[in-house]
Amino acid sequence: MSDTPAQTAPFVVVIDGPSGSGKSSVSRAVADRLGLAYLDTGAMYRALTWWCLDQGVDLEDTDAVTAAAESMPLRMGTDPTDPRVDVGGTDVTAAIRETGISSVVSAVARHLPTRAVLIAAQRECIERCSRPGIVAEGRDLTTVVAPDADVRLLITASEDARLARRARELHGGDGEDAIAATRDQVVRRDRDDSAVASFLEPTDGVRLLDTSELDFETTIAAVLELVERARAGVVDGHGERARSHARE
Ligand SMILES: Nc1ncnc2c1ncn2[C@@H]1O[C@H](COP(=O)(O)OP(=O)(O)OP(=O)(O)O)[C@@H](O)[C@H]1O
Ligand SMILES: Nc1ccn([C@H]2C[C@H](O)[C@@H](COP(=O)(O)O)O2)c(=O)n1
């Protein structure tokens, strides 16, 4: 795959959803199988949180956090097999997943001027992607960052399913204690995050995929089918893109 920017506009797939719905893992797998780039916008908010803590910035101070976003030397890897996140030469890919970041990242994401800085960077990354297209995921991709994307999808799952998935991932099981330890990362975070982004219900034109009863492979297959239909709509030149026919 060439690293030179695509000559034509990239094919853009955007996926939003609540915590633990599976949007990151599904987006990565879909991008990998289709040879597309991958952008994890949540990782950008997490990297900024890491940078603010590293620089001693007060997470409640909108101006200071926004200035930090503007000066942050962030490099987002967009290879779905190795989505590395680098801040000023430090590989923070693992560090930004730690509980210390997860528990405070919503405080950073709630500052609207800060969001504007990251949203501009996300749009640039999507426009300049080094592959024929990109799968970008987060909380406000379908509504704010890329409302004109070729495919717009909201992936969701019941709260119980999401808690169980996250508990298995973080604590190796979904027993009572593991679920209790996971609640803050899923339920409280979604409540805080939904104050500044709309990701609990699909807005007009956004497809909904409820994965509560689907396993990982079936979910990927459903997204791939949606993407292929959209691509066929473009390539076949039937006038309208597949998303125009979609059940919305
Ligand atoms: N359809 C599915 N069935 C079962 N497990 C799934 C499914 N989709 C994802 N998972 C698993 O659920 C966990 C959470 O997935 P993932 O990290 O992709 O969620 P997310 O929506 O990106 O969450 P967050 O926004 O908190 O990062 C992972 O361990 C993933 O492998
Ligand atoms: N487009 C986005 C992406 C993420 N966020 C916020 C909300 C999350 O709590 C945090 C981390 O995201 P995650 O890695 O869990 O997907 O970033 C947002 O506000 N907008």
Query: Are 207 and 153 spatial neighbours (Cβ–Cβ below 8 Å)?
Result: yes
Vertex 148: Cα angle to 145 and 149 (nearest 5): 80
Instruction: Pick from 216, 217, 219 the residue to mutate for probing ligand 1's pocket: most ligand atoms within 8 Å of its CB.
Output: 216
Q: Which CATH code fits 11-231?
A: 3.40.50.300
Q: Is the pLDDT of residue 219 over 80?
A: yes
Rounding to the nearest 10 degrees, give the CA dihedral for residues 189, 192, 195, 201. Answer: 30
CB 112 within 8 A of CB 196: yes
What pLDDT, on a 0 to 100 scale, did the predictor assign at position 8?
A: 83
pLDDT mean over 56-62: 98
- Cα of 61 to ligand 1 centre, how many Å? 31
Annotation-wise, does 198 bind a ligand? no
Which tokens belong to 24? 């990151």
Ligand that comes closest to the CA of residue 219:
1
Residue 69 to residues 52, 55, 118, 137, 230: CA-CA distances in angstroms?
9, 12, 7, 19, 35
Residues 90-127 pLDDT 10s:
999 999 999 999 999 999 999 999 999 999 999 999 99
Which of 65, 74, 105 to mutate to test ligand 2, by most ligand atoms within 8 A of the CB atom? 105
Give me the pLDDT at residue 233, please.
81
Q: How do the domains of the chain map onto residue ranges?
A: 11-231
Considering the entire predicted model, what is its pTM? 0.92
Burial label for 8, CB within 10 Å (0-12, 13-18, 19+), is: exposed
User: What count of other Cβ atoms lies within 10 Å of the Cβ of residue 163?
Assistant: 22
> 138 CA distance to ligand 2 centroid (A)?
6
Residues with CB under 6 A from ligand 1: 17, 19-26, 42, 165-166, 169, 211, 214-216, 219
Cα angle value 122/125/131 (rounded, 5°) = 140
If one compares 4 and 176, the residue with the highest pLDDT of the two is 176
Question: For 72-76, 116-120, 241-245, which range has the lowest pLDDT when averaged over its residues?
Answer: 241-245
List pLDDT tens digits, range 160-218: 999 999 999 999 999 999 999 999 989 999 999 999 999 999 999 999 999 999 999 99
Q: Is the CB of 42 under 6 A from ligand 2?
A: yes
Q: What is the pLDDT of residue 244?
A: 35
Average pLDDT over residues 30-55: 98
Q: Which ligand is nearest to the CA of 154?
A: 1
Residues forming beta bridges with residue 37, ordered by sequence position: 134
What is the amino acid identity at position 192? D
Residue 5, burial from CB neighbour count under 10 angstroms (0-12, 13-18, 19+): exposed
Q: Classify each residue of 31-60 as buried b or exposed e, where b means 16 or more C-beta atoms within 10 Å of its C-beta.
A: beebebbbbbbbbbbbbbbbbbeeeebebe
